[in-house]
Structure 1
Amino acid sequence: MNDNSYILEVSWGCPSEKYPINGLFQFDQARALHSIGEKIVFLALDMRSFRRFRKWGYNRFEKAGIPVIEYNFPWGPFSPQLKYQAQDFSFKRAIKKIEKEFGVPRCVHVHCCQQAISVTSYCEKKSIPYIVTEHITPLNEGDAIEKRKEKALKGARTVIAVSNALARDVMRNYGADSVVIPNIVDLREFKYSDTKPRQQDLGSQKINTFEFLSAASANHGKGFDILVKAYAKFIGETSAKTHLTIMGDGPELPIIQDLALELGITDNITFTGSYVRKEFADNLTRSDCFVLASRSETFGIVYIEALATGIPVIATKCGGPEDFVDSTNGILVPVDDVDALAIAMKEMLKDYESNASRFSSEHMKFVSEKCKEKFAPEAVANEIASKLI
Structure 2
Amino acid sequence: MHDHLNQSVVVLPSYYPMAFHPSFGNFFEEQTRLIKMQGIDVAVVFNETRSLSTLTFKKFRKIHFQKKFKIENGVPVLRRLNWNLVPTKYRLGQQIWIKNSIRLVESFIEKNGKPDLFHVHCAISAGSVAKYINYKYQIPYIITEHSSFFELSDISDAQKEEVVSIYKNAQKVIVVSKPFRKLLCSKLNLEENLVDVVPNFIDTDFFDPNLSVVTKSISKENLIFTVCFHNSNKRLDRLLEAFKIVSETKKNWTLVIGGNGYETNRLKQIVKEYGLEDKVVFTGMLSKYEVRAYMKASKIFVLSSDVETFGVVLIEAMAMGLPVVSTASGGPKDIITSDTGVLVERNAESLANGILFSIDNYYTYNKEIIRQHVIDNFSANKVVERYIAIYTEAIANDVGVYQM
TM-score, length-scaled by structure 1:
0.87
Which of 128, 132, 143 aligns to 2:157? It is: 143
Q: Partners of 1:216 and 1:40 in 2: how far apart? A: 28
> Relative to 1, partners in 2 of residues 1:17 and 1:49: Cα closer, same or farther, differing over 3 Å?
closer
Deviation (angstroms), 1:27: 2.1
Instruction: Tell me the residue number matched to 2:295.
Output: 284
Does residue 186 (structure 1) correspond to residue 197 (structure 2)? The answer is: no
Output aligned runs, 1:252-271, within 5 Å.
252-271=263-282
C-alpha distance in 2, partners of 1:194/1:58?
Answer: 38
Q: 1:5 to 1:194 in 2, by over 3 A?
A: closer
- CA-to-aligned-CA distance 1:31-67 (integer Å, 9 cap, x gap): 2222222111211122443457755242212223332
Residue 101 (structure 1) aligned with residue 115 (structure 2): no
Q: Does 2:65 correspond to 1:65?
A: no
Give deviations 1:188-218, integer Å, cap 9, x for gaps.
Answer: 432124999xxxxxxxxxxx95321111111
In structure 1, the residue matched to 2:230 is 218
Deviations 1:110-150 (A, max 9, x none): 11101101220220233222100011133446433332122
Paired residues of 1:225 and 1:256 also in contact (CA < 8 A): yes
- The letter for the 2-side match of 1:45 is N
Alignment size in residue pairs: 366
The secondary structure found in structure 1 opposite 2:24 is: coil
Distance change in 2, residues 1:248/1:230 (3 Å): same
Paired with 2:97 and 2:325, the residues of 1 have a C-alpha distance of 39
1:110 maps to which of 108, 111, 120: 120
Distance 1:90 1:342 in 2: 47
Contact kept, 8 Å, 2:234 with 2:304, in 1: the verdict is: yes
Q: Is the 8 A contact 2:221 2:298 kept in 1?
A: no
Q: What residue number does 2:400 align with?
A: none
Contact 1:211 1:242 in 2 (8 A): yes
Unaligned runs of 5+ in 2: 1-5, 214-219, 396-404
User: Secondary structure of the residue that 1:128 maps to in structure 2?
Assistant: coil
Matches within 5 A, 1:334-373: 334-335=345-346, 337-352=347-362, 355=363, 357-358=364-365, 363-373=366-376
The one-letter amino acid of 2:360's match is: K
Q: Which secondary structure does the structure 1 equivalent of 2:255 belong to?
A: strand
Give the match's secondary structure for 1:386.
helix
The amino acid across from 2:374 in the alignment is C
CA distance in 2, matches of 1:82, 1:23: 23
**Pair 1:195–1:344, CA change in 2 (3 A):** farther
Aligned residue number for residue 304 of structure 2: 293
- The letter for the 2-side match of 1:286 is A
CA distance in 1, matches of 2:378, 2:53: 34
TM-score (norm 2): 0.84
Tell me how far apart the structure 2 counterparts of residues 160 and 289 of structure 1 sit (CA, whole Å).
31
Q: Distance in 1 between matches of 2:207 and 2:31?
A: 18
**Structure 1 contact 166–319 (Cα < 8 Å) conserved:** yes
CA distance in 2 between counterparts of 1:38 and 1:63 reads 16
The unaligned stretches of length 5 or more in structure 1 are 197-207
Q: Does 1:15 align with 2:29?
A: no
Deviates more, 1:281-290 or 1:367-376: 367-376
- Any runs of at least 4 consecutive aligned residues in structure 1 with deviations exceeding 6 A, and if so which? none
Question: Are the aligned partners of 2:229 and 2:261 in contact in 1 as well (CA < 8 Å)?
Answer: yes
| Higher mean C-alpha deviation, range 25-34 or range 159-168 | 25-34
Structure 2 residue 319 is matched with structure 1 residue 305:
no
Cα contact 1:209–1:240 (8 A) shared by 2: no
Q: Distance in 1 between matches of 2:17 and 2:221?
A: 36
1:333-378 superposed Cα distances (whole Å, 9 cap, x missing partner)? 111x1111111222122113xx4x21xxxx2112213313322223
